[in-house]
Structure 1
Amino acid sequence: MTTSINYEDKIPNNVDLSSDRRLQRALEGWQPKFLNWWGEMGPALENQGVYLRTAVSVGREGWAHFDHVALEQYRWGIFLSEPRQDRRIAFGENRGAPAWQQVPGEYRADLQRLIVVQGDTEPASVEQQRLLGLTAPSLYDLRNLFQVNVEEGRHLWAMVYLLHAYFGREGREEAEALLFRNSGSPDSPRILGAFNEETADWLAFYMFTYFTDRDGKYQLGTLKESAFDPLSRTCEFMLKEEAHHMFVGTTGVDRVVQRSADLIREHDTMDIAAHGGIPLEIIQRYINFHYSVSLDLFGSETSTNAANYFTAGLKGRWQEERRTDDHKLTEDAMFLDKPGADGIWTQEELSALLLLNLDLRGEYSADCQNGLNRWNKILSDAGIDFRLSLPHVGFNREVGVYSDFHISPQGTVLDAATWEQCRAKWLPTSEDFTFVRSLMYPVYERGRIASWVAPPRQGINGKPFDYEYVYLP
């Protein structure tokens, strides 16, 4: 394995792909199918070059090169992070044993399933965002959208490589299926619900890259701990790319809140819809929706599958090696907050092994709060007495212990009638979507931006905001 990436091969890689002719031929056979999928389901807006970053090394320094590249000529490839010498399994019943370089037979099905589910999310987000370029608020934003898209495509390659290299015929069939399923398809939808939702406007895109890509960060973080070393190294490099996706979401919502705050002050009213801004109440409803849908991606709070994955060493906890317990959890317990039909909340003490999804979700929620703190500081600095908030973890849930209950954003258990009466206050309405989409018109001139969002504080890779980030026909 080498640190640098070989761009001479048909498929760029740092795994010495040319030394395994059978694997190379298999992946080269999958490549045109990927390119066909990209042509049909990738970005709809034609362009003649995008200022993209391309990985040139997996090392800590100097790993990316920036230049204008036509999207269809982007060099997708297979990149694993640098190997750790004598890496040991950090958790579970095999703790302390050497990390696996091949798939143990007894864990083959479980590892394949984990890789397929992760792999299925990557092309799904590209499909969800296919039409967004047609309404980009600036060339800067258009460039960021395309950067996210090509890297999600590369993350698909990362999972497909593992399927081809380590799972034989079944792995190759699963790799084909990753291109067969499509987001929102009635016949062959994506595996996870959040990846079948529509992303039809740029506020939804910023929310998706803040909340849903952040879920991806935490899922990749647990797989980075895996005893299966090729999966661990693959996810470690994916996390490096994923950071930019969350940056797009964080700063995107920053800029929407900033513009709304500016309009509130300029016109001395919270009702800024008539002035081309997005009211804070609508922003809050978008937060409520995207946060709650993303929470469902963590699965049920109690999970024997998660416990078994941990015990076997397949999937660890977030930052497992920084934890100070015994990394086996056979004697540890956690508390789960549970609602009752009488509206009373209680706590149930359960094995920490059974509550691993809850543990990961807690890390995620704390991270999400950082964004709310940023956005509320913008409002505070503007002298606006309004605060955005994360809804209760039981709000609007379709998975887990809360899915059979109607729970308000404040955590109150409601009857069905009260929920239906109030849901328009808490979740985006058809009127909200219609209004937000009415603002979505393209701005492709250098240095200009749509009226509903503030410009960024700085450009990409030291370039100014008015740089020609995308060449359009």
Structure 2
Amino acid sequence: MPEKIDYDDKIPNNVNLSGDRRLQRALEGWQPKFLDWWGEMGPTLRTNGVYLRTAVAVGRDGWAHFDHVNVPDYRWGIFLAERDADRRIGFGEHAGEPVWQQVPGEYRADLQRLIVIQGDTEPASVEQQKLLGLTAPSLYDLRNLFQVNVEEGRHLWAMVYLLHAYFGKEGRDEAEGLLLRNSGSPDAPRILGAFNEETADWLAFYMFTYFTDRDGKYQLGTLKESAFDPLSRTCEFMLKEEAHHMFVGTTGVDRVVTRSAQLVRENDTLEIGACGGIPLDVIQKYINFHFTVSLDLFGGETSTNAANYYTAGLKGRWQEGRRKDDHRLTEGGTVLEKPTADGTWTTDEVQTLLALNLDLRGEYIADCRTGVKRWNRILEENGIGFRFSLPHPGFNRAVGLNAGFRVTPDGTIVDEATWAANRRKWLPTTEDLAFVRSLMHPVYERGRIASWVAPPVNGVNDKPFDYEYVYLP
């Protein structure tokens, strides 16, 4: 049977929170601070009810309930996937041993750091998307934005629970810090660079939920393998919700490309800006930017920290159980492509254990290509010769081996002057961003949608597109 979530408690949960009065009081003390943060940094647009999905159980069978909810009254809580009593550690030096229900002292600092970094990303995206409701292209899209926002808020709760329950005073202090940092703040920014970027328009939102939330999928996937079972179970449930965020991104870009393709065909020109559409080359620039900023989230191509996390059993590989090796990685090498000062590429072989970030990034890139294929299929079906592509992994990088080099989207290493002369062709310009923002006029009428994006193929939970997904004042 799925583990039911207790919505009678002040903090909904399926971890028997009422059985630990000290923990319950601590989290009830944090709750009003979270609500203050949400009121200040959460969505600007006020609503009288949003058609939201709320978890009712954590098992595979029917865990979601849909209804109109007043967003400030959303019941954020603590949900862990069902426990497997026979689960064993699947990798590293502790492989084969029972998973841990408590934090081993020698790994306390590392586990806390991993949880804090993951936790910091969750409120950051809410802050980045704070103003988007003011320019929503339809009630359907507005509803999806709020669904993403409340679930990111719940993912913050997931990490805060772990910090409070397993890391004592240090954990409680870190939980406070998650509300004190703010996306883009000059004094207290979010930890990771991509979460300090502005998400100022809906094309950027679709790209963020496609590329950056997809990074989240892979990071959560590695933590789901963790020998620390509460973290594993937390991430397993978060992945169920993360899937919807990526769906919003995938289908959002689908719909932008579909509408742009229609305008190209109807007007027999790629210059569709005057027709109220987003030109295909601008969409490509957005792909280039959001893909490469998201690549930086994987860290350097080689990492002793990642190797140590793996050996200790703290963080595995994507789908560790499907790997056909010894799950210890004490032998074997991985080929690494490196830029050189003379403008050429060379290869180096590094120990596989040191290249875990590169391994995860490779899985991510392969997944990202599926979206590009979707979007190119739309162009092909409309008889348009233009094709989207992912840029070379060395392009526009601020982290890793490529950070000190200027690499073009096709992988050519160039000098600073060549980069400066061509940058406008590869990345969104100030003019591109201003144009896209100029299209962002809100459409709040049922069944209507902005002219720059196509309507969805299907509505939410078998509801039609013209359903009243959001009640506005």
Give me the TM-score of the superposition, normalised by structure 1: 1.00
Which secondary structure state, in structure 1, belongs to the residue aligned with residue 457 of structure 2?
coil
- Alignment of 1:396 with 2:396, yes or no, is yes
Kept in 2, the 8 Å contact 1:2–1:15? The answer is no
* Structure 1 counterpart of 2:265, one-letter code: R
SS of alignment partner, residue 354 of structure 1:
helix
Counterpart mapping for 1:116-131 below 5 A: 116-131=116-131
Matched, 1:184 2:197: no
Q: Which AA in structure 2 matches 1:59?
A: G
> 1:160 maps to which residue?
160
Partner of 1:430: 430
CA–CA distance in structure 2, aligned partners of residues 326 and 210 of structure 1: 33
Partner Cα distance (1:344, 1:27) in 2 = 54
Q: Secondary structure at the match of 2:298?
A: coil
CA distance in 1, matches of 2:307, 2:348: 18
The answer on 1:348 being equivalent to 2:329 is no
Q: Which residue of the partner structure matches residue 326 of structure 1?
A: 326
SS of 1:54's equivalent? strand
Structure 2: gaps spanning 5 or more residues: none
Give the match for residue 384 of structure 1.
Answer: 384
1:5 pairs with 2:5: yes
SS in 1 for 2:437: helix
**What residue number does 1:262 align with?**
262
Q: 2:452 aligns to what?
A: 452
Write the deviation string for residues 150-170 of structure 1: whole angstroms up to 9, x where unpaired: 000000000000000000000
Structure 2 counterpart of 1:87: 87
User: C-alpha root-mean-square deviation of aligned residues, in Å?
Assistant: 0.7
Distance 1:400 1:220 in 2: 21
What letter matches 2:207 in structure 1?
A: M
How far apart in 2 are the matches of 1:81 and 1:332?
34
- Which residue of structure 2 aligns with residue 31 of structure 1? 31
Name the residue aligned to 1:14: 14
- Three-state SS of the structure 1 residue aligned to 2:383 is coil
Show CA shifts across 1:267-293 (max 9, x none): 111000000000000000000000000
Specify the alignment match of 1:461 in structure 2: 461
Give the residue type in structure 2 aligned to 1:297: L
Does the residue aligned with 2:346 lie in a helix, a strand or coil? strand
On the 8 A contact 2:55/2:65 being kept in 1, the answer is yes
Matched residue type, 2:460: I
Mapping of 1:72-111 within 5 angstroms? Answer: 72-111=72-111
The answer to whether the aligner puts 1:198 opposite 2:198 as a matched pair is yes
State the SS of the aligned residue for 1:86. coil
Question: In structure 2, how many angstroms separate the alpha carbons of the residues matched to 1:15 and 1:354?
Answer: 36
* 1:230 matched residue in structure 2: 230
**Deviation at residue 332 of structure 1 after TM alignment:** 1.6
Letter in 2 for 1:182: N
Partner of 2:373: 373
Tell me how many residue pairs correspond in the alignment.
473
Q: Matches of 1:63 and 1:370 in 2, distance apart?
A: 28
**Aligned mates of 2:68, 2:417 — CA distance in 1:** 55
Q: Deviations over 1:385-410 (max 9, x none)?
A: 00000000000000000001000000
Return the letter of the residue paired with 2:413: V
SS in 2 for 1:468: coil
8 Å Cα contact 2:225-2:316 kept in structure 1: yes
Counterpart in the other structure of 1:362: 362
| 2:339–2:413 Cα contact (<8 Å) kept | yes
- The yes-or-no answer on 1:60 pairing with 2:63 is no
Whether the aligned pair in 2 keeps the contact of 1:331 and 1:351 (CA below 8 Å) is yes
CA distance in structure 2 between the partners assigned to 1:86 and 1:170 by the alignment: 31
> Post-superposition shift, 1:2?
7.2
Corresponding position of 2:50: 50
- Counterparts of 2:370 and 2:120 in 1: how far apart (Å)? 28
SS of the counterpart of 1:297?
helix
- Match of 2:406? 406
- Partners of 1:280 and 1:113 in 2: how far apart? 41
Could you tell me how far 1:346 is from its partner in structure 2? Answer: 1.0
Partner Cα separation in structure 2 for residue 110 and residue 137 of structure 1:
43
4+ residue runs over 4 A deviation: none
Other-structure match for 1:307 = 307
TM-score relative to the length of structure 2:
1.00
Q: Which amino acid aligns with 1:12?
A: P
Q: Provide the C-alpha distance between the structure 1 equivalents of 2:132 and 2:414, rounded to a whole number of angstroms.
A: 37
Where does structure 1 lack aligned partners over 5 or more consecutive residues?
none
